[in-house]
Amino acid sequence: MKASQFGAMILALFCLVPFTANAADIEAGKSKSAVCAACHGADGNSSNAAWPSLAGQHANYTYKQLKDFKEGRRNNASMTGMVALLNDDDMKNLAAYYASQQPKNAPFDPELIAAGENIYRGGIAETSVAACMGCHSPSGKGNGPAGWPSLKGQYPEYVVTQLQNFKQGMRANDTGKMMRNVVVRMSDSEMKSVAAYIAGIE
């Protein structure tokens, strides 16, 4: 790992400390989530593959994404409008509420599972793509303290869209370009396979 990447990771961890050190209000987050339910579901499990499920997501990660939308580091017209009126406590409370919910399984193509598992667990040696589980864990639950998201319950279509966004530079809020440096060496078919495997992780 390059020194610049290591430094960025350490900085990201320190940025998470203020949130983790303060208790968020889950009930307040539940109340505030009413306006989010149309896309993300009342319990954080989206009913549309175009929108991410937030149930069970690490609070640090959800909070960071909300801040990134609000401060322009991540762009989406719908989300920019939604976060405009949220203050810092609102974002922390929402993140805590969704973290308290249970993710549901998403549908996936079983024919892609074998290829996807090989990538997720072993990477792609020919193109130096690292194994996904190195950051997102063998179970897909990620690493909250490190700021690496849980992938449990995500629709394959949404995962593929985000991977493509990272590859094309449309999304650039990954610490130290970690995701962008990985996906630039992945094909569309490889993305689809690993996304299917992610959806099927038990």
Q: What is the pLDDT of residue 62?
A: 98
Task: Tell me which DSSP letter residue 140 carries.
Answer: S
State phi, psi for 129 to the nearest 5 degrees.
Answer: -90, 125
Among 84, 101, 97, 111, residue whose Cα is nearest residue 30:
97
Q: Are 180 and 174 in contact (CB under 8 A)?
A: yes
pLDDT in tens, 53-76: 999 999 999 999 999 999 999 999
Phi-psi sector, 123: left (phi>0), alpha (psi -120 to 50), beta: left
- Give the angle subtended at the CA of 173 by the CAs of 140 and 122, to the nearest 5°: 35
Is the pTM value of this prediction over 0.85? yes
The pLDDT assigned to 54 comes to 98
Domain boundaries, the chain: 3-99, 110-200
Structure tokens at 93: 């409370």
What's the average model confidence in pLDDT over 75-95? 97
Report DSSP state, residue 73.
Answer: S
- Residue 96 in this model has a pLDDT that exceeds 80: yes
Architecture of the domain delimited by 110-200: Orthogonal Bundle (1.10)
- pLDDT: is 4 or 123 the higher one? 123
Confidence check: pLDDT of 104 > 90: yes
Within 8 A by CB and 6+ apart from 78, the residues are 39
d(CA 88, CA 24): 11
Choosing among 1.10.760.10, 3.40.366.10, 2.40.10.10, 3.60.110.10, the CATH entry for 3-99 is 1.10.760.10
- The residues near 157 (Cβ < 8 Å, ≥ 6 apart) are 49, 50, 195
Q: How far apart are CA 197 and CA 105, in angstroms?
A: 12
Q: Is the pLDDT of residue 124 over 50?
A: yes
Work out the pLDDT band at 161, boundaries 50, 70, 90: very high
